[in-house]
Structure 1
Amino acid sequence: MDKGVLVHIDALLAGIPAPLDIPASEVGAAMPDDLVLIVLDDDPTGTQSVAGLPVLTRWESDDLDWALAQGSPAVYVLTNSRSLSEEHAAARNREIVAVAVAAAARAGRRVSFVSRSDSTLRGHFPLETDVLRAAAAEHGGEAPHLTMLVPAFPDSGRITVDAVHYWVVDGEATPVGETPFAADATFGYHSSDLRDWVEEKTGGRVVREEVAALTLRIIRSGTDAVVAFLRALPAGSVVAVDTVEETDMRQVALALHALDREGVTALLRIGPPYLRAHIGQPIAEPITADRIDFANERGGLVVVGSHVPLTTAQLGALMVDRPDTATIELDVRSLIDERRDAHLTAQADAVARAIERGTVIVHTSRELVTGRDGEESLEIARQVSAGLVELVARVLALTPPRFVIAKGGITSSDVASEALEIRRAQVVGPMLPGIVSLWQPQVGPAIGIPYVVFAGNVGTTESLALVVRTLAD
């Protein structure tokens, strides 16, 4: 495809076999009973496609013991590594592996690690998969045979066809390397074909020709075809996985479960929905207001930190939908200079007063302030996120809200772990079909305050307004 030329989804899929009919229950029955997946999630938005699973923002031994005691097939551990430097991201991944391996041994479970990252390819790759492969070998004696790349997120228009990753909007597919996500100040890239992307991100250590393409034509030929394709690959292979439908992921999962029984293991690098397919969990219905427990009747708190264009559009639509809702802005430049403390004090007091009367929207100024390079830009993002965290913590101490919605990956991770001190939570389910996760905190000062994790780059323009309506009306 020529750069800048869109293709309609129907043309993209022309000639490809139809999706298979695979119920989630078939995959669940195939998953080994002794296996638990530890999902190292580089921001908390990865839980948006699952329901009924434990999630941790801390990883002391007793935290992992609690999570494994729930008997779930998977546990999410929030590393927040997308906001960290490479050095700190690597150290955090290694630390979690060591604690999880020990906890699994105490629980009598076999453990496998999953690296959950962004469906638009932003994050520490290949760093995190390299670290997890090495750590798995160190603790288990053998590195995973395959590294599976499954970034697709069909619920949000991210699909992979013939190894090319696309963002689909209104039926038109744009190669992801030509979207705003590829221009990310820290994790930017040029390639849309995952084989080229791997070569680009590994600096040529893994060349395009060494990346296997598990295409829809193979996947939709059935389990035997997928098993045969993957079994024939050399140990250490990286596999780019096509995905357009949920059943494509379920078919891959069935094949990986079959290979696991043969001793052929895989390290998963995935977008949000693949975990759901891999454990055989059906697509959950969106949470309705009658299923949510609230501790008080004050207004809720909507915190918007993400600066991607979709978030800005969603914020605008929310303000139009709720013109009488108090809206308070945090000025980004004031958060990164000497005005920080005074600005936070004034705005936190204003939010606390307004929550007594109703729901409050807090957002950072929409100007995107970047540094001279990726690391400096990341540091600015950390400072801004820390300012939002401090504001939410002050509000929680002054006037606990009815609910909290955090918009953006770094924002939602830091608000959960630092401001609300949610060390352990249960994922209730999605607020919208396949996206936007609702947690119920299990410990800490936020017990009774439903917490909504809302990624910056998912949904439609109206999605944020719809979620606020469910919680506030």
Structure 2
Amino acid sequence: MAKATDLLANLQDINRQEVQANLAEERKNFTYKIVVLDDDPTGVQTVHGVSVYTDWTKESIEQGFREDKSIFFLLTNSRSFTAKETTEVHQDIARRVHEVSQQEGIPYVIISRGDSTLRGHYPLETVTMKNTIESISDVSFDGEIIIPFFKEGGRITINNVHYVQYGEELVPAGETEFAKDRTFGYKSSHLGEWVEEKTNGEYTKEGTTYIRLEDLRSLNVSGIKEQLMGVTNFNKVVVNAVDYVDVEVFVTAFIQAMKEGKTFICRSAAALTKVIGGIADKPLLTRDELITEETTNGGLVAVGSHVQKTTEQLYALLDSGLVTPVEFDVHLVLDDEKFQEEVARVRTTCEELITAGKSVVYYTRRERLDLGEGRAEEELKLSVKISDAVTSIVHDLKVKPKYIIAKGGITSSSIGTVGLSVKRAEVSGQVAPGIPVWKTGDESKFPHTSYVVFPGNVGTKDTLKEVVEVLEGK
């Protein structure tokens, strides 16, 4: 653990206007379509005015390629998939993206947008896409860019070590609760060691290329480009970054290398997508931008995530009195009849409150369901059943809330795609740093509604309460 001020003390200042002007010039004749595969819906947490497609049919991918914007997102939600499902989905997407690229005559670069705290199906997703595309074409991938920097969430990389910020403290990622994830756990905080750990030694710490902060801050674009030109055999490139300007310098060199014929896949958090997509800063959304229809109905908040930060934020919201609480006793999942009665009770209670003009939060009971040793598979099946029930409450809702907030990546994905039946949404922007808002499409259950996709692990303990205050006009 270290103080943020200590680690950042000796960083060289940089003229960001000059950096952005150089990048804008480089992007002018950069004709690649940027296809972002998002493993949960929070990957749009830095962008606005872009499309998110919630399926990966050829038609959706064609639509993305034909848009004027240089970037679009495909929401895979693969963090909730098994390894087998993840492989199949990424094979399908890789084939279709390459096919549409050939059909439309537009080159592409794929970004696998993963978690800024290093959880997810890595390296399975990027390896699957690499192998699939190479098997159906003459494309050969030189390397993979790894850049988990996400400023809004306090995730920074210094001296090749990835940190998560807690107040003024920087904690190496491998020492956080995220590294203890049951499915995607890891030990290493040094990203070269993390690569070695995750690839079981196939790619090594020594074989990794490191883009140093010193080179980024001294605007050594030509030197960074030369590093990229030397990458072969799908070796890894770790990018250090503590601010957006570091990513902007890197992307300038990255585009130059691609223009000279280098081919990469990227594994990144949400910062890279904003920079390479040329998306300008935008002020946080106001209530007038978020609530565009006159209604006397209340709003709806759904909380499924169980990470510690979510629970702290939920309790702060409950203490505020801004919303009426409805606890969903998911432990009743062990008794089918009682569970169905509980789901119906939660939904009808929410409907009555929303119709009466009261905003409501329904949330899963905070204690985890633990069946004991040796029953992990059974627990997983029950957790899927619980997740489906949380989603069904929105799917079956008979009244339109004035806004909807879903807390947690998997929760927000399921509610967006299944509960609200969204096929394509436009990202309006952010309601708080790192917290995106979709405007739902015509086809959705509640068209043109502001849908706040609230990551489980973003913000302070008061951020959920503050977002509700914005939406309630408090």
Q: By the TM > 0.5 criterion, same fold?
A: yes
* Amino acid aligned to 1:65: E
Q: Distance in 2 between matches of 1:291 and 1:136?
A: 41
Give, in angstroms, the shift of residue 380 of structure 1: 4.2
Distance (whole Å) between structure 2 residues aligned to residue 226 and residue 23 of structure 1: 14
1:462 aligns with 2:462: yes
Show the counterpart of 1:283.
281
Segments of 5+ residues of structure 2 without an aligned counterpart are none
Q: 1:428 to 1:314 in 2, by over 3 A?
A: same
Q: Distance in 2 between matches of 1:147 and 1:307?
A: 32
- Structure 1 segment 75-94 matched on structure 2, within 5 A: 75-94=72-91
Change (3 A) 1:163 1:379: farther
SS in 2 for 1:264: coil
User: In 2, distance between residues paired with 1:277 and 1:378?
Assistant: 37
CA separation of 1:221 and 1:307: change in aligned 2, threshold 3 A: same
For residue 209 of structure 1, give the secondary structure of its aligned residue in structure 2. Answer: coil
2-side partners of 1:419 and 1:141: how far apart? 41
| CA 1:378–1:166: 2 relative to 1, 3 Å | farther
1:68 equivalenced with 2:65 (yes/no) = yes
Residues 230-288 of structure 1 show CA distances to partners (whole Å, capped at 9, x for unaligned) of 22233311011101010001111001100011001221100112110122222221111
On the 8 A contact 1:34/1:109 being kept in 2, the answer is yes
Pairwise mapping of residues 45-444 of structure 1 onto structure 2 (< 5 A)? 45-222=42-219, 223-295=221-293, 297=295, 298-322=297-321, 325-335=323-333, 337-338=335-336, 339-357=338-356, 358-369=358-369, 372=374, 378-395=380-397, 398-433=398-433, 435-442=434-441, 443-444=443-444
Question: Structure 1 residues 383 and 23, CA, compared in 2 at 3 Å: closer, same or farther?
Answer: farther
Q: AA paired with 1:289? A: R
Give the Cα–Cα distance (whole angstroms) in 2 for the partners of residues 202 and 148 of structure 1: 15
Q: Deviations over 1:90-135 (max 9, x none)?
A: 1111112222333334433212211001000100011011012112
Q: Could you list the per-position Cα deviations for residues 401-444 of structure 1 after superposition, in whole angstroms to 9, with x for gaps in the alignment?
A: 111111100000000000000010111111113x1111111222
Q: Name the residue aligned to 1:10.
A: 5
1:198 Cα shift? 1.0
1:46 Cα deviation after fit: 0.3
2:38 corresponds to: 41
Aligned-partner residue type, residue 274 of structure 2:
R
Q: Deviations over 1:182-219 (max 9, x none)?
A: 11111111111111111111122222212222221122
RMSD value, Cα: 1.9
Q: Output the CA distance in 1 between the equivalents of 2:137 and 2:281.
A: 33
Structure 1 residues 209 and 331, CA gap change in structure 2 (3 angstroms): same
Counterparts of 1:311 and 1:76, CA distance in 2:
25
Name the SS for the 1:49 alignment partner.
coil
What is the one-letter code of the residue matched to 1:318? Answer: L
Of all paired residues, the percent bearing the same amino acid is 31
2:19–2:249 CA contact under 8 A, matched in 1: no
How far 1:370 sits from its partner (Å)? 5.2
- What is residue 30 of structure 1 aligned with on the other side? 26
What is the TM-score with the length of structure 1 in the denominator? 0.93
Residues of 2 paired with 1:426 and 1:24: CA distance? 25
How far did residue 13 of structure 1 move? 2.8
- Worse-matched range after superposition: 164-173 or 372-381: 372-381
Contact 2:291 2:403 in 1 (8 A): no
C-alpha distance 127-336 of structure 1, shift in aligned 2 (>3 A)? farther
Structure 2 residue matching 1:129: 3-state secondary structure = helix
Structure 1: which amino acid aligns with 2:234? G
Greater alpha carbon shift after TM alignment, 236-245 vs 15-24? 15-24
Cα separation, 2, equivalents of 1:356 and 1:233: 59
* 1:157–1:287 Cα change, 3 Å: same
Change (3 A) 1:459 1:125: same
Deviation at 1:30, TM superposition (A): 1.7
- Runs of 5+ in structure 1 lacking a partner? 1-5
For the residue of structure 1 that corresponds to 2:429, the secondary structure is strand
Q: Match for 2:416: what amino acid?
A: A
Alpha-carbon displacement from aligned partner over 1:160-196 (angstroms, at most 9, x marks no partner): 0111000112221110111111111111111111111
Return the letter of the residue paired with 2:91.
R
Which amino acid in 2 is paired with 1:387? A
Give the letter for the 2:4 counterpart: I
Q: What is the rounded CA distance, in whole Å, between the counterparts of 2:133 and 2:15 in structure 1? A: 33
| Alpha-carbon distance change, 293 to 460 in structure 1, aligned in 2, over 3 angstroms | same
Asked if structure 1 preserves the Cα contact closer than 8 Å seen for 2:95 and 2:133, the reply is no
TM-score normalised to structure 2 length: 0.93
